[in-house]
Amino acid sequence: MYISRLLFTLLFAVTQRCAAAKPCAVSASQPSNAVCEPFYTTFNFSSYRIANSISQTSPYPPSTSFVALSSIGAYQTTDRGLELYISKPDGEITTTNGTNDKIASGAAVNSTFTLLYGKVTFEVIAPAVPGIITAVILIGDQGDEIDVELLGGDPAHWQTNMFAPRPSDLLPLWGVFGSTEDVPEGKPTIADMHTYTIDWNEDRITWGIDGNTVRTLKKENAINNGEIRYPSHPTRIQMGIWDSSTDAGTSEWGKGPVDWDVAPPYMKAVVKSVTVECN
């Protein structure tokens, strides 16, 4: 789902602060190489470093491949991979009309590099808690977006989506190019480790799970109101976890609001690895 719930492109020089529940869309203040280059990481703690946009300023060291848009305590690299945390808000939480008055702090991590077309594979475990969203996506400074979203309230399915907004759009095209896919039998929920793939070229996008392609969207079919809407700008890799209990529409889509009377006070998503292959 398009997060003008302000979803997050990379910030090299932070000039604004992101909302606690959902990292914000920000643009790079220095150019980056948009050519696809092969890449692989398991976020091994002993050899991997993620810069932090809040506590550090650009330029980051050349070896930095990712930048966190969240506080240092919201994520960690371990021998399991990149762990993204979300925790219960402090104080009493009131639910009204399908939303919560306090929103949990989540986490977001962006790549410092961009790619224009390529195949990106994520190994992910996501919490199966209604209202909690785990997202691994490609996001461009111009708003182009290709999504894999894991809704904790629908753990037997996962969602695919894409956006290619135009300046004339009054609202994001929520759901126009979205689809819901099944999680394979054997490891039947998003709480199991699965491999999610976005394969994007100039003619089509395919999404896959555990090595099997489940959806193909051709550019020629990505039409809204007679106009082709297809991502064509460089994008960054983005991984995040957030609370959908904000406005009523987002909360309903996210199977929220989060019921903190029964939800764990502390949850995490794990990205075990990220692989980039170039066409």
Which pLDDT value is given to residue 231?
Answer: 97
pLDDT along the chain (279 residues), means of 10: 37 28 37 78 85 84 91 94 98 97 97 97 99 99 97 99 88 89 97 99 99 98 93 98 96 98 98 96
Tell me the backbone φ, ψ of residue 256, rounded to 5 degrees: -100, -165
Domain 39-277 belongs in CATH node 2.60.120.200: yes
Burial of 272 (0-12, 13-18, 19+ CB in 10 A): middle
Q: What is the C-alpha separation between 127 and 123, in angstroms, rounded?
A: 14
Which pLDDT value is given to residue 46?
Answer: 72
Which pLDDT value is given to residue 21?
Answer: 37
Which pLDDT value is given to residue 34?
Answer: 65
Please tell me which residue in 123, 149, 220, 252 is annotated as part of the active site. 149
Please tell me which residue in 37, 83, 123, 145 is annotated as part of the active site. 145
Q: What is the C-alpha separation between 276 and 88, in angstroms, rounded?
A: 34
- Known catalytic membership, residue 145: yes
Q: What is the pTM of this model?
A: 0.89
Non-local CB neighbours of 34 within 8 Å, separated by 6+ positions: 114, 115, 116, 234
Q: What is the C-alpha separation between 16 and 201, in angstroms, rounded?
A: 33
For residue 39, how many other CB atoms are within 10 A of its CB?
17
- Known catalytic membership, residue 149: yes
Q: What is the C-alpha separation between 230 and 218, in angstroms, rounded?
A: 9
Task: State both tokens at 146.
Answer: 């290709």
